[in-house]
Amino acid sequence: MAKRTFCGLCTSNCGIEVHVQRGRVTKVIGDSQSPFGKGQLCIKASGLVDLHRHADRLNYPLKRAGKRGEGKWERISWSQALDEIASKLAKIRDRFGPEALVSMAGTIHNGLEWAAWRFCNLFGSPNIFAQGKNCGEPEFLSELATYGYDTRGSSPVPGLTRCFIAWGVNPSVSRHVVWRSLLEAQKSGMKLVVIDPRLTETAAKADIWVQPRPGTDGALALGMMNTIISENLYDKKFVDEWCLGFDKLQVLVHEYPSDRASRITGIPVDKIIMVARLYATNKPAIISRGVALCHLGSATKSAIQGRMLLRVITGNIDNQGGQVLREGFPNLAWTENMFWDRLANHPLRTRDNVSAHKISSASVRGYSLYREAMKKVYPKGYTASQYLVFVSPYYLWPAILEGKPYPIRAMITAGGNPLTTVAGGRKIYQALKSENLELHVGMDLFMTPTLELADYVLPAADCLEQPSIRVNWGLDDSFGLGEQPVEPLYERRGDYQLWRELGARLGQEEHWPETLEGMIDRFLEPTGLTFQEALAKGESYFNAPRHFEKYKEKGFATFSGKVELVPSLFEKLGYDPLPSYEEPPQSPERTPELAKEFPLILISGARNRYYVHSTLRQIKRLREKSPDPLVQIHPETARRLGIRRGDWVCIETTVGRIK
Ligand X SMILES: Nc1nc2c(c(=O)[nH]1)N[C@H]1C(S)=C(S)[C@@H](COP(=O)(O)OP(=O)(O)OC[C@H]3O[C@@H](n4cnc5c(=O)[nH]c(N)nc54)[C@H](O)[C@@H]3O)O[C@H]1N2
Give which of ligand SF4, ligand X, Mo ion, none residue 245 binds (C-beta under 5 to 8 Å, depending on kind): none
Taking each helix axis from N to C end, the angle separating 495-505 and 113-123, rounded to the nearest 10 degrees, works out to 10
Choice between 36 and 387, CB closer to Mo ion: 387
Choice between 148 and 214, CB closer to ligand X: 214
Q: Which residues are at the interface with ligand SF4 (CB under 6 A)?
A: 7, 9-10, 12-14, 37, 41-42, 44-45, 176
Give which of ligand SF4, Mo ion, ligand X, none residue 45 binds (C-beta under 5 to 8 Å, depending on kind): ligand SF4
Give which of Mo ion, ligand SF4, ligand X, none residue 282 binds (C-beta under 5 to 8 Å, depending on kind): none
Shortest approach of ligand SF4 to residue 15 CB, angstroms?
9
Shortest approach of Mo ion to residue 558 CB, angstroms?
27
Shortest approach of ligand SF4 to residue 12 CB, angstroms?
4
Sign of the four-CA dihedral 365, 137, 287, 6:
negative
Give which of ligand SF4, Mo ion, ligand X, none residue 176 binds (C-beta under 5 to 8 Å, depending on kind): ligand SF4
Shortest approach of ligand SF4 to residue 216 CB, angstroms?
31
- Whether residue 382 contacts residue 373, with contact meaning beta carbons closer than 8 Å, is answered with no
In whole angstroms, what is the distance from residue 29 CA to residue 19 CA? 8
Beta-bridge mates of residue 442? 413, 457
Choice between 46 and 368, CB closer to ligand SF4: 46
Q: Amino acid identity, residue 29?
A: I
Shortest approach of ligand X to residue 156 CB, angstroms?
16
Shortest approach of ligand SF4 to residue 14 CB, angstroms?
3
Q: Which residues are at the interface with ligand X (CB under 6 A)?
A: 10, 44, 106-107, 109-110, 131, 134-135, 167-171, 173-175, 195-198, 200, 212, 214-215, 217, 290-292, 296, 414-418, 421, 443-446, 448, 460, 495, 603-609, 611-615
Choice between 279 and 610, CB closer to ligand SF4: 610
Q: Under the criterion CB under 5 A, does residue 135 sit at the interface with Mo ion?
A: yes
In whole angstroms, what is the distance from residue 153 CA to residue 236 CA? 26
Shortest approach of ligand X to residue 209 CB, angstroms?
11
Choice between 113 and 318, CB closer to ligand SF4: 113
In whole angstroms, what is the distance from residue 330 CA to residue 228 CA? 37
Q: Amino acid identity, residue 239?
A: V
Choice between 5 and 484, CB closer to ligand SF4: 5
Residue 27 phi/psi, 5-degree rounding, is: -160, 165
**Closest listed residue to residue 124, CA positions, set 331, 318, 396, 353:** 353
Sign of the four-CA dihedral 383, 384, 385, 386:
positive
Shortest approach of ligand X to residue 541 CB, angstroms?
22
Angle at 351 between CA 347 and CA 352, to 5 degrees: 120
Provide the 10 A C-beta neighbour count for residue 628: 9
Choice between 169 and 506, CB closer to ligand X: 169
In whole angstroms, what is the distance from residue 560 CA to residue 563 CA? 8
**Closest listed residue to residue 339, CA positions, set 145, 471, 184:** 471
In the bound state, the residue with its beta carbon closest to ligand X is 106
Residue 622 phi/psi, 5-degree rounding, is: -85, -40
Choice between 544 and 595, CB closer to ligand X: 595
In whole angstroms, what is the distance from residue 211 CA to residue 515 CA? 51
Q: Contact residues for Mo ion (CB under 5 A)?
A: 107, 134-135
